[in-house]
Amino acid sequence: MIYDVLILGAGPAGLSAAIYAGRNKQSVLLIEQGQDGGQISVTDAIENYPGQMLEGENGFTLSQRMAEQAKRFGAQRVSDTIREAKLDGEVKELVGASGTYRGRTLIIAAGASHRSLGIPSEAALAGHGISYCATCDAGFFRGRDVYVAGGGDSAVQEALFLTRFARKVTLIHRRDALRAVPALQEKAFANEKLHFLWNSVVTDAGGDGKLQWLTIRNTKSGETTKIEAKPEDGFFGLFVFLGVVPATDLFKGKLDLEDGYIVTDENMHTHIPGVFAAGDIRKKKLRQVVTAAADGGIAAMEAYEYIRG
């Protein structure tokens, strides 16, 4: 089958595109290798999305409602990992592990993934003390010490969430000032359980099957400090929020990229006719749920006009 619209990624951009394309009575296939919602599906608190539930809204609940809307408007859904993209010609093809998918248009909304620390022991300790999702793993560190690497909005927001569980939360930031928005900084500095290690980076970590020690290097003095878990605790947690890496490996050499992000015009067009990009994968200034959803809506309407004309 050749669909009117293929959508790669089921985050806010992809789901928004599916809703708009479905309402246009187009045939839509939404392809996602993981959980609907992308990064926001593991975000504890959503406070700035227009029309959200005022109490108890989180990334999972918001993305689930978006997915239900897309389903209501007829969008079909498949779970697959795409290994090759064929963008030339009137019909676009995505070749996955489980099948090949064809569409008259393609909206790329594959988003981005968390940036790693880059230390040798990171992979071995992931899930054993090192985590990238406070909502998922905070409960494992109830009453223990927790460290957070990062200084942007996500790092501060998740550090604040972790204070509900941990005995003490220490945010490790390579600079001497946070990059988070002022409202989040105000909350962070007012929280008695939240502490800060400025001008510092994590250089190593280890333990006997679980995270029991970290080494921290001061970026100004070069001094290295080792932090060890309290004997009575046995281990502690490190949550990593160092930014994101766009999922654009499939499109290197095929689409125009800048700093790893897909370059589009203001209407989500790439340089290839019929191929659009939306959300965090696209080169732009503000990456938020509201801008991703807007990108998806624009891309879907442009895909509709492309097919018509």
pLDDT digits 0-9 by tens, 84-115 = 999 999 999 999 999 999 999 999 999 988 88
C-alpha distances out from residue 226 to 42, 214, 216, 218, 235, Å: 30, 6, 6, 11, 14
The pLDDT, as a whole number, for residue 45 is 65
Phi, psi of 141 (to 5 degrees): -115, 25
Each residue's pLDDT tens digit, 140-159: 999 999 999 999 998 999 99
Q: Give Rg (Cα) of the chain.
A: 21
Q: Which of 13, 224, 39 is nearest to 21 (CA)?
A: 13
Q: Is 198 helix (H, G, I), strand (E, B) or coil?
A: coil
CB atoms within 10 A of CB 25: 11
Q: Do residue 140 and residue 236 come from a single domain?
A: yes
Q: What is the pLDDT of residues 242-269, one digit of tens each?
A: 988 899 999 999 999 999 999 999 999 9
pLDDT of 162 strictly over 90: yes
The residues annotated with a catalytic role in the active site are 133, 136-137
108 shares a domain with 135: no
Q: Which CATH number is 138's domain given?
A: 3.50.50.60
Domain coverage including residue 60: 2-114+244-308
**Per-residue pLDDT tens over the stretch 8-67:** 999 999 999 999 999 999 999 999 998 787 777 766 667 778 888 877 788 888 889 999
Q: Which of 262, 258, 294, 288 is nearest to 275 (CA)?
A: 262
**Co-location of 126 and 61 in the same domain:** no
Tell me, yes or no, whether 174 and 233 share the same domain.
yes
Average pLDDT along the chain: 93
Beta bridge partners of 217: 201, 224
Q: Which ranges of the chain does DSSP label H, i.e. alpha helix?
A: 12-23, 59-72, 122-125, 134-137, 153-162, 182-190, 289-308
Sheet holding 145-149, edge to edge: 130-131, 237-240, 145-149, 168-172, 194-197
For residues 27 and 6, membership in a common domain is answered with yes
> Does 98 share its domain with 135?
no
pTM: 0.76
Residues 169 and 189 in one domain: yes
Domain C-terminal end among 195, 216, 240:
240
pLDDT of 42: 65
Q: Which long-range contacts (CB under 8 A, 24 or more apart) does 74-78 make?
A: 74/22, 74/27, 74/28, 75/7, 75/18, 75/19, 75/21, 75/22, 75/28, 75/29, 75/30, 76/3, 76/27, 76/28, 76/29, 76/30, 77/10, 77/29, 77/30, 77/32, 78/29, 78/30, 78/31, 78/32
Domain count, the chain: 2
67 and 130 together in one domain: no
pLDDT level of residue 166 (50, 70, 90 thresholds): very high
For residue range 173-226, list pLDDT tens digits in order. 999 999 999 999 999 999 999 999 999 999 999 999 999 999 999 999 999 999
Helices vs. strands in the chain: H and E counts, helices first:
7, 19
Where is the domain boundary, 225, 240, 255? 240
Among candidate residues 240, 255, 288, the one where a domain is terminated: 240
Looking at the structure, tell me whether residues 178 and 256 fall in a common domain.
Answer: no
Is the domain of 185 the same as that of 281? no
One domain for residues 66 and 126? no
Residues 48-78 as b/e (b if ≥16 CB within 10 A, e otherwise) read: ebeebeeeebbbbebbbebbebbbebebebe
DSSP character at residue 263: P
- Residue 129 shares a structural domain with residue 173: yes
| Cβ proximity of 80 and 7 under 8 Å | no
